[in-house]
Amino acid sequence: MSDLSDLYQEVILDHNRRPRNWGALTDATRKAEGYNPLCGDRLTLHVKIEADRIVAVSFEGSGCAISKASASLMTDAVKGRTLEEALDLFGRVHDMLTTPIDQPVDEGRVGKLAVLAGVREFPTRVKCASLAWHTLKSAITNPAETAKTE
Ligand code: ZN
Protein backbone atom coordinates (compact mmCIF):
# COMPACT_ATOMS: atom_id res chain seq x y z
CA MET A 1 0.00 0.00 0.00
CA SER A 2 2.80 2.44 0.79
CA ASP A 3 4.21 1.97 -2.70
CA LEU A 4 0.85 2.91 -4.15
CA SER A 5 0.64 5.89 -1.76
CA ASP A 6 4.02 7.20 -2.91
CA LEU A 7 3.06 6.71 -6.54
CA TYR A 8 -0.26 8.40 -5.83
CA GLN A 9 1.49 11.51 -4.48
CA GLU A 10 3.89 11.58 -7.37
CA VAL A 11 1.25 11.15 -10.08
CA ILE A 12 -1.13 13.69 -8.54
CA LEU A 13 1.64 16.29 -8.30
CA ASP A 14 2.83 15.64 -11.83
CA HIS A 15 -0.63 15.82 -13.43
CA ASN A 16 -1.52 18.88 -11.38
CA ARG A 17 1.62 20.65 -12.52
CA ARG A 18 1.32 19.57 -16.15
CA PRO A 19 -2.30 18.61 -16.85
CA ARG A 20 -2.73 16.57 -20.03
CA ASN A 21 -5.42 17.54 -22.55
CA TRP A 22 -5.89 20.97 -20.96
CA GLY A 23 -7.87 23.69 -22.73
CA ALA A 24 -10.86 24.08 -24.99
CA LEU A 25 -11.65 21.88 -27.95
CA THR A 26 -13.04 24.01 -30.77
CA ASP A 27 -14.65 21.12 -32.67
CA ALA A 28 -16.11 19.31 -29.66
CA THR A 29 -19.47 17.63 -30.21
CA ARG A 30 -20.34 17.40 -26.51
CA LYS A 31 -19.65 19.57 -23.52
CA ALA A 32 -20.45 18.94 -19.88
CA GLU A 33 -19.97 20.90 -16.70
CA GLY A 34 -18.97 19.35 -13.42
CA TYR A 35 -19.10 20.93 -9.97
CA ASN A 36 -18.13 19.54 -6.61
CA PRO A 37 -19.59 21.89 -3.97
CA LEU A 38 -17.76 20.13 -1.14
CA CYS A 39 -14.41 21.39 -2.39
CA GLY A 40 -15.37 24.01 -4.97
CA ASP A 41 -13.91 22.12 -7.93
CA ARG A 42 -15.29 23.23 -11.30
CA LEU A 43 -14.69 21.41 -14.53
CA THR A 44 -15.71 21.86 -18.15
CA LEU A 45 -15.22 18.82 -20.29
CA HIS A 46 -15.04 18.98 -24.08
CA VAL A 47 -15.54 15.76 -25.99
CA LYS A 48 -15.44 15.05 -29.70
CA ILE A 49 -17.33 11.91 -30.60
CA GLU A 50 -17.22 10.28 -34.02
CA ALA A 51 -19.02 7.03 -34.77
CA ASP A 52 -19.43 6.16 -31.09
CA ARG A 53 -15.78 6.74 -30.35
CA ILE A 54 -14.11 9.48 -28.31
CA VAL A 55 -11.63 10.88 -30.80
CA ALA A 56 -10.64 13.91 -28.75
CA VAL A 57 -11.22 15.14 -25.22
CA SER A 58 -10.01 18.08 -23.17
CA PHE A 59 -10.87 19.90 -19.98
CA GLU A 60 -10.65 23.29 -18.31
CA GLY A 61 -11.60 24.56 -14.92
CA SER A 62 -10.38 25.39 -11.47
CA GLY A 63 -10.08 23.06 -8.58
CA CYS A 64 -7.80 21.26 -6.19
CA ALA A 65 -4.80 19.19 -7.26
CA ILE A 66 -6.73 15.93 -6.97
CA SER A 67 -9.62 17.06 -9.18
CA LYS A 68 -7.24 18.39 -11.80
CA ALA A 69 -4.99 15.33 -11.77
CA SER A 70 -7.96 13.01 -11.94
CA ALA A 71 -9.37 14.89 -14.96
CA SER A 72 -5.95 14.76 -16.61
CA LEU A 73 -5.68 10.99 -16.03
CA MET A 74 -9.28 10.45 -17.14
CA THR A 75 -8.89 12.31 -20.44
CA ASP A 76 -5.74 10.34 -21.21
CA ALA A 77 -7.47 7.08 -20.35
CA VAL A 78 -10.62 7.51 -22.46
CA LYS A 79 -9.15 9.11 -25.57
CA GLY A 80 -9.63 6.73 -28.48
CA ARG A 81 -12.08 4.51 -26.64
CA THR A 82 -15.62 3.73 -27.70
CA LEU A 83 -18.43 5.21 -25.58
CA GLU A 84 -19.19 1.74 -24.24
CA GLU A 85 -15.57 1.22 -23.19
CA ALA A 86 -15.45 4.66 -21.58
CA LEU A 87 -18.62 3.97 -19.57
CA ASP A 88 -17.23 0.60 -18.57
CA LEU A 89 -14.07 2.32 -17.34
CA PHE A 90 -16.21 4.85 -15.45
CA GLY A 91 -17.84 1.89 -13.66
CA ARG A 92 -14.50 0.32 -12.81
CA VAL A 93 -13.07 3.57 -11.44
CA HIS A 94 -16.26 4.23 -9.50
CA ASP A 95 -16.07 0.73 -7.98
CA MET A 96 -12.44 1.32 -7.05
CA LEU A 97 -13.08 4.70 -5.41
CA THR A 98 -15.94 3.27 -3.36
CA THR A 99 -14.02 0.16 -2.25
CA PRO A 100 -13.37 0.41 1.51
CA ILE A 101 -9.80 1.42 2.33
CA ASP A 102 -9.14 -1.85 4.14
CA GLN A 103 -9.89 -3.86 1.01
CA PRO A 104 -7.40 -4.32 -1.81
CA VAL A 105 -7.97 -2.75 -5.21
CA ASP A 106 -7.86 -4.98 -8.26
CA GLU A 107 -5.26 -3.07 -10.27
CA GLY A 108 -5.82 -5.27 -13.29
CA ARG A 109 -9.28 -3.74 -13.80
CA VAL A 110 -8.14 -0.12 -13.98
CA GLY A 111 -4.48 -0.20 -15.07
CA LYS A 112 -2.49 2.88 -14.14
CA LEU A 113 -5.65 4.57 -12.84
CA ALA A 114 -5.09 2.40 -9.74
CA VAL A 115 -3.03 5.28 -8.34
CA LEU A 116 -6.33 7.11 -7.76
CA ALA A 117 -7.14 4.49 -5.12
CA GLY A 118 -4.80 6.44 -2.84
CA VAL A 119 -7.50 9.09 -2.45
CA ARG A 120 -9.51 6.66 -0.32
CA GLU A 121 -7.21 7.58 2.55
CA PHE A 122 -8.91 10.98 2.49
CA PRO A 123 -12.66 10.26 2.28
CA THR A 124 -13.61 13.92 1.81
CA ARG A 125 -11.50 14.04 -1.35
CA VAL A 126 -13.07 11.04 -3.08
CA LYS A 127 -15.57 13.39 -4.76
CA CYS A 128 -12.64 15.46 -6.06
CA ALA A 129 -11.28 12.35 -7.76
CA SER A 130 -14.64 11.20 -9.12
CA LEU A 131 -15.77 14.60 -10.46
CA ALA A 132 -14.13 14.24 -13.86
CA TRP A 133 -15.57 10.76 -14.27
CA HIS A 134 -19.11 11.85 -13.44
CA THR A 135 -18.72 14.75 -15.87
CA LEU A 136 -17.58 12.33 -18.56
CA LYS A 137 -20.59 10.11 -17.93
CA SER A 138 -22.90 13.09 -18.27
CA ALA A 139 -21.21 14.17 -21.52
CA ILE A 140 -21.73 10.67 -22.94
CA THR A 141 -25.21 9.85 -21.67
CA ASN A 142 -26.90 13.25 -21.77
CA PRO A 143 -27.18 14.41 -25.41
CA ALA A 144 -29.04 17.50 -24.16
CA GLU A 145 -25.63 18.76 -23.17
CA THR A 146 -24.50 18.70 -26.80
CA ALA A 147 -22.36 21.70 -27.53
CA LYS A 148 -23.18 23.71 -30.64
CA THR A 149 -20.22 24.63 -32.75
CA GLU A 150 -20.56 26.89 -35.74
ZN1 ZN B 1 -11.25 19.07 -4.74
- Single pTM value for the model: 0.90
Domain boundaries along the sequence of the chain: 3-145
pLDDT of residue 150: 34
Averages of pLDDT over each 10 residues, the chain, 150 residues: 73 94 95 94 96 97 95 97 97 94 88 91 92 95 54
- What is the whole-number distance in angstroms between the Cα of residue 98 and the centre of ligand 1? 17
pLDDT of residue 73: 97
- What is the whole-number distance in angstroms between the Cα of residue 150 and the centre of ligand 1? 33
Rg over alpha carbons for the chain, rounded to the nearest Å, is: 15
pLDDT of residue 4: 63
pLDDT of residue 146: 45
**CATH number assigned to the domain covering 3-145:** 3.90.1010.10
- What is the whole-number distance in angstroms between the Cα of residue 107 and the centre of ligand 1? 24
pLDDT of residue 2: 56
pLDDT of residue 143: 64
DSSP secondary structure letters along 69-138? HHHHHHHHHHTT-BHHHHHHHHHHHHHHHTS-TTS---HHHHGGGGGGGGGGGSGGGHHHHHHHHHHHHH
pLDDT of residue 106: 85
- What is the whole-number distance in angstroms between the Cα of residue 81 and the centre of ligand 1? 26
